[in-house]
Structure formats: C-alpha cells, structure tokens
C-alpha cells in the first residue's frame, strides 16, 4: 500500500512539474509578424493517392496564395490513384503554368517515395510539403519564407476542422493535445514531432540527410523521423504558430478510421530518439496513473488528489492555449475530453504494434 501510494504521488508531482514546464514554454511563444524580408522561391511538394474528393479544395486554396506566381511552383505526384485524382489535377494544370503533375510508376509505392520523386523534380532550393486533403492560408508561404531564411527546417500548426459532432470533438481534442506537446517541447529545445501538412526545408538539407533513407524503419515518418535525422545532424529547426500560416485538414469521420490513422502515427513514435521516448513516456504515464488513481479511493481518500491535480493541469494548459492552435472547446468539454484522450492513448499505443504498413 505504501509503495503504491508513493509511486502515484511521485507521478502526480512529475505531472505538475512537466505541466508547469509546458505552460511556461507555451506562454513564451511569441506571435510572428511579417517584415520586408526577401521572398524565397518555393517548390510546394504534394503526394496524392485517391484524393479526388479533397484535391480541389487544396488547389483552390493554393490559387489564393498571397505570393508572386513566379516565385513558387506546385508539384503533385500522383501515386497510382485509381479514382479521378489525376484528371482533376490535369484540368487545373492546363490553366496554371506553375503546376506540374507527375505520375509515379508502380515500383514507387508509398508516400516517401512519392515525395522523393517530387523533390527530385523541384526547380527551387526551398521546399515545402503539405497533404492533398489540406487547405492553406493565403500568407502561408510568406511566413515560411521569412522563417526559413534563418534556419534549415520549419514546421507549422496544422489544426483539424472542428464542428459540433462528438467524434469530431474527440479527434480534434487529441490534435490539440498533440500540438500543445509538440510546440511546448520544441520551444525549450526538444523538437520531436511535426506535421507533414506544413513542413519546409531546403533541398540541400534533404540531400545532406540522404533523403528519407534514414527513416526506413517504417513507411510513415516523412515528418517525425525526418526531423529525428535533422536533430542527429544538429540542424537548425524552427516553427511558426501564427494563424495566418495554419494549414487545415478534415479529421476522420469515424472512430474506426481514426484508430487506424493513429496506429500509423503512434507506430512512428517507436523510432523516436531515446530522450524523446523517455520524456513522453513519463508524461503519458503520469497522466494515466493520475486519471485511474481514483479507482483506489476506496482504500484512501489521498488517491482522489492525483486526478484533481490532473484535471486542473489539463484545464489550465488547454484553456489557456487552445485558440493559439486553432481550437475552441467549452469548459465542460475541457474537463471531460481529457478522460477520453487518456483512454485513447492506451488504445492507440496497443494498436500501433498491429499497424499494417501501407499507405492508402
């Protein structure tokens, strides 16, 4: 009994310490403002596979970019789509000289292979990646141009479109919590993850890291594991949080599709650097132990304290910074959704070991 009490209380203290570290870090992220810096030339690289339902929205948002047309190109690699993806892009390309459609052959299967084809065909040194089911903000390239002028890699905020549905709220809250961890740790010099929906780097960096060859442990990881390799090579990594550079995408419509997606994402975390694994394991373990400590409250009322600590830490962080990352939850949701989040963390971790390695 004493040992169990001691463990739970120690993890409660750990949760408090890391929680306040995250709060302090997130509170020190300043809002970016545009200056009269030189605009870089960009190649926008997109891998598309069976995205006929989504690609038009992306193309329309790219058409609204507030950026000189002669300073960027769009390269879309069609990875063996069996729907009308290629036809939709071809129609758009016929009216836009800065868009290239490349068809990958059957020997190049997977997102990283498709992206590599696009990068190898890029005209410009500065590359920026997004996904075919996204929409970008008009000043997206301007903010990334300003930031990439002074570093090797830049990643941005990529929120999901939020609505009133229960499943949507659960998935969007998970995305919010991920953003808080990613940017909170990145701001104290511990970047460990990024979203390929808004991810920029120089072609020379891609070549220096030998492309995606250092990330072959899994078919995923074109963002997180590429970032891992950049950290190993001590490259300069920065991020952008202004809402004028957000890249939005639609969340999964069902929990089944969400669990499949998260199994893939979580499987990538098995290949993080050891220091990142340790701090994330400590954080999630502390949260889960504090959440379920109330089950022992029949033994002693002290076991109610950890879940109270957890709920207060959760609320303080999520309520303070949710709008910074493109989300809006009410007070009730901010107390209830962390409970489902921790349960799903466990489910996603278990499912990650059963992830079937394919890109669809």
Q: Which of 218, 235, 260 is the last residue of a domain?
A: 260
Q: Are residues 64 and 144 in the same domain?
A: yes
pLDDT in tens, 10-34: 999 999 999 999 999 999 999 888 9
Q: Are residues 289 and 178 in the same domain?
A: no
Model pTM?
A: 0.93
E-assigned strands of the chain? 42-48, 72-78, 99-103, 126-131, 134-136, 153-156, 199-202, 237-240, 247-249
- Answer whether residue 357 is part of any domain: no
As a whole number of angstroms, the distance between CA 4 and CA 280 comes to 22
Residue 189: left (phi > 0), alpha (psi -120 to 50), or beta? left
Q: Are residues 204 and 68 in the same domain?
A: yes
Render the burial of 231-242: b for 16+ CB within 10 Å, e for the rest. beeebebebbbb
Q: Which distant-in-sequence residues (6+ apart) come within 8 Å of 265 by Cβ?
A: 220, 348
pLDDT in tens, 221-248: 789 999 999 999 999 999 999 999 999 9
CATH number of the domain where residue 87 is located: 3.90.550.10
Q: Are residues 233 and 278 in the same domain?
A: no
Q: Which distant-in-sequence residues (6+ apart) come within 8 Å of 283 by Cβ?
A: 15, 18, 181
Residue 359 pLDDT exceeds 70: no
Q: Are residues 166 and 275 in the same domain?
A: no
Q: Are residues 218 and 286 in the same domain?
A: no
Residue 358 pLDDT exceeds 50: no
* Containing structural domain, residue 339: 2-28+271-352
Structural domains counted in the chain: 2
- Mean pLDDT calculated for residue range 29-46: 91
pLDDT in tens, 112-143: 899 999 999 999 999 999 999 999 999 999 99
Q: What is the DSSP letter of 32?
A: P
Biggest CA–CA distance in the chain, Å, is 72
Q: Are residues 99 and 235 in the same domain?
A: yes
């Amino acid at each position: 009994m004493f040992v169990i009490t001691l463990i739970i209380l120690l993890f409660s203290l750990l949760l408090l310490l890391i929680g306040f570290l995250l709060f302090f870090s997130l509170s020190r992220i300043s809002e970016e403002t545009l200056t009269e810096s030189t605009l870089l030339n960009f190649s926008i690289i997109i891998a598309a596979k069976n995205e006929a339902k989504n690609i038009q929205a992306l193309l329309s948002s790219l058409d609204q970019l507030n950026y000189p047309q002669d300073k960027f190109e769009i390269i879309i690699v069609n990875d063996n789509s069996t729907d009308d993806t290629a036809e939709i892009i071809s129609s758009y390309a016929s009216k836009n000289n800065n868009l290239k459609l490349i068809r990958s052959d059957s020997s190049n299967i997977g997102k990283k292979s498709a992206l590599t084809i696009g990068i190898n065909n890029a005209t410009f040194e500065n590359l920026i990646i997004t996904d075919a089911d996204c929409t970008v903000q008009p000043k997206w390239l301007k903010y990334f141009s300003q930031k990439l002028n002074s570093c090797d890699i830049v990643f941005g905020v990529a929120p999901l479109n939020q609505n009133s549905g229960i499943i949507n709220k659960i998935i969007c809250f998970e995305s919010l919590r991920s953003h808080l961890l990613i940017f909170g740790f990145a701001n104290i010099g511990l970047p460990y993850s990024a979203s390929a929906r808004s991810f920029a780097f120089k072609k020379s960096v891609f070549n220096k890291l030998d492309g995606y060859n250092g990330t072959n442990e899994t078919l995923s990881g074109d963002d997180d594991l590429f970032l891992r390799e950049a950290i190993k090579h001590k490259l300069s990594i920065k991020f952008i949080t202004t809402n004028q550079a957000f890249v939005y995408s639609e969340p999964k419509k069902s929990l089944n599709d969400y669990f499949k997606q998260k199994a893939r994402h979580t499987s990538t975390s098995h290949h993080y650097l050891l220091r990142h694994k340790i701090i994330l394991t400590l954080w999630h373990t502390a949260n889960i132990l504090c959440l379920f400590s109330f089950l022992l409250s029949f033994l002693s009322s002290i076991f109610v304290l950890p879940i109270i600590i957890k709920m207060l830490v959760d609320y303080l962080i999520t309520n303070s910074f949710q709008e910074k990352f493109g989300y809006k939850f009410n007070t009730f949701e901010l107390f209830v959704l962390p409970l489902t989040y921790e349960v799903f963390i466990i489910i996603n971790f278990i499912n990650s070991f059963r992830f079937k390695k394919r890109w669809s």
